[in-house]
Amino acid sequence: MSSRKLSGPKGRRLSIHVVTWNVASAAPPRDLSDLLQLNNRNLNLDIYVIGLQELNSGIISLLSDAAFNDSWSSFLMDVLSPLSFIKGNKGGVNICLKLYGYYVSIINCHLPPHISNNYQRLEHFDRILEMQNCEGRDIPNILDHDLIIWFGDMNFRIEDFGLHFVRESIKNRCYSGLWEKDQVWWGRLSSRASHPGLSIAKKHDPLLREFQEGRLLFPPTYKFDRNSNDYDTSEKKRKPAWTDRILWRLKRQPCAGPDTPGPPASHFSLSLRGYSSHMMYGISDHKPVSGTFDLELKPLVSAPLIVLMPEDLWTVENDMMVSYSSTSDFPSSPWDWIGLYKVGLRDVNDYVSYAWVGDSKVSCSDNLNQVYIDISNIPTTEDEFLLCYYSNSLRSVVGISRPFQIPPGSLREDPLGEAQPQI
C-alpha cells in the first residue's frame, strides 16, 4: 500500500476507511457505494478495512468457499479492484501490518450476545488481546503495537432503561441519555459535562479502558426487522443497542531522549474524520457502521524492502528477465516468488505467470538480482501488467512495480505439474 499525500516535513497521511457489519447470513446487496464512500471524491482513501460477521456458514457455503471466493469477498472486490485495491487472503480475525516501520494490528470480532453476558464479553475481549501474537515479527504481542483498530459486533447493550424509554429516546434523537447506560460508554470525562464517557465495561476492565471511540451520533444499529428501519416488532421485541462498534488504541510513547529511544508520539497519530451508521441497508437485522480515519506518521523506514525495476525488463525467447534490489536486512527465502499480473488484479493469487526466486535467479551482484519469468503463452494484448514480490517469511507482498507492457505470447499450462504458490 502506498500514499502520495504528505503532511508536514517528510511526513505522510494515510486515509483509512473501516467498515463493520453483521450481515446475518444474507447475500450482498446490489450497491455498496454509500457504505464504501465511493461517491465521496474528497476522501481520497488509501486503505479499506472491512470486517463482516455471521457470514453463511452452512456446509454448502463452506465447500464453495474452499474452492472459490465467498460471495461477499467476490462482490467487494468487483467494486474495489477497478480502483486498484487488492485483497490479501488472511485467515482468522487478526491482521498485523508493518506500515513505514510502525506496527498496526487490525481485529474483527464477534463477542457473546445477550445483556446478561457483559462480563463474558469482557473476558473474551481481554483473552483476544492477551493471546493474539504475530509470528515472525519483531514485536509479536499486539498490545505492544503502535496502533490497534478493533471493530465488530461487540454485542454490548443498554442497561437499566426499559424498551419504551429507549425507543422514545431514539425517536427524539436523545442519544446522550442512553450513553450513560451503554455497556461500553459511561462518563469518559469525570465531569460528564461536555462528552459522554468511559463505559460501564471500561470501569471494570483496564484493557478496554485504553481504547477510544468516536461519539455515537447515530441510532443504535441493532435489532431491526429485515428490509426496514423498524426496530424489532417480533414477539421478543429486543431492545435496541449499539452492538456494532469501531474502537482504536494508540500505544503510549514517551518523547524520545537520551535514555528513551524511539519516535515522539507526535510522529504517529490517528484522528477520526467520521463515525456513522448506514441506515439505507436492510438485508440484516444489523445496520453497518463505518469510521474514516486520518493516520499521520513520520516514516521510520524510508526504503522499501524490495524494488522491482520494470524499466530494466527485456525478453530472451519465451522468458522475461526481471531485475530487483533488496535492503540488506531483508529476510529472503528460496520460497519467495515474483508474480506477473494484469493491472486490476483482485488478489495475489491472480497471477498470469510467476517465478520462484530460488529456482529462477540468474544473476546476483551488488544487491541487484535478476530472475526469468516465463511469458511464452501470454496472448497478444494491450493490457498493462505489473510485478509483485511475495515474501514467504513475512507472508506478505513486499514489492510492487509500476505498470508496464510486455511483448505478446500465450500462457501455457505447466507440463511438469510444478507446485504453484498459494497464499
Q: How many CB atoms lie within 10 A of CB 297?
A: 22
Cis omega (within 30 of 0) for bond into 298: no
Its CATH class, for the domain covering 306-400, is mainly beta
Beta strand 47-53 with 12-22: parallel, antiparallel or unpaired?
parallel
- Alpha-carbon distance of 335 to 390, in angstroms, equals 9
Which residue is listed with cell 520460497? 335
- pLDDT values of the chain reduced to their tens digit, one per residue, 423 residues: 333 454 555 688 999 999 999 999 899 999 999 999 999 888 889 999 999 998 875 555 555 555 556 778 888 888 888 888 877 744 347 888 888 889 999 999 998 888 888 888 888 888 888 777 776 667 778 888 999 999 999 998 998 899 999 999 999 999 988 988 887 764 333 333 333 333 566 566 778 888 999 999 999 999 999 999 999 999 999 999 999 999 999 986 554 444 444 445 558 999 999 999 999 999 999 999 999 999 999 998 878 899 998 766 676 677 888 899 998 888 889 899 999 999 998 889 999 999 999 877 777 777 788 888 888 877 777 788 999 999 998 888 999 999 988 755 444 444 444 556 666
pLDDT of residue 130: 79
Q: Cell 462518563 sits at which residue?
A: 187
Equal CATH topology for 12-297 and 306-400: no
Where are the chain's structural domains?
Answer: 12-297, 306-400
User: Which one-letter amino acid corresponds to residue 211?
Assistant: F
- DSSP letter at 255 equals P
State phi, psi for 377 to the nearest 5 degrees.
-120, 25
pLDDT for residue 257: 47
Quick one: fold of 12-297?
Deoxyribonuclease I; Chain A (3.60.10)
Residue 341 cell numbers, joined: 499480473
Beta strands in 80-124 (DSSP E): 94-99, 102-110
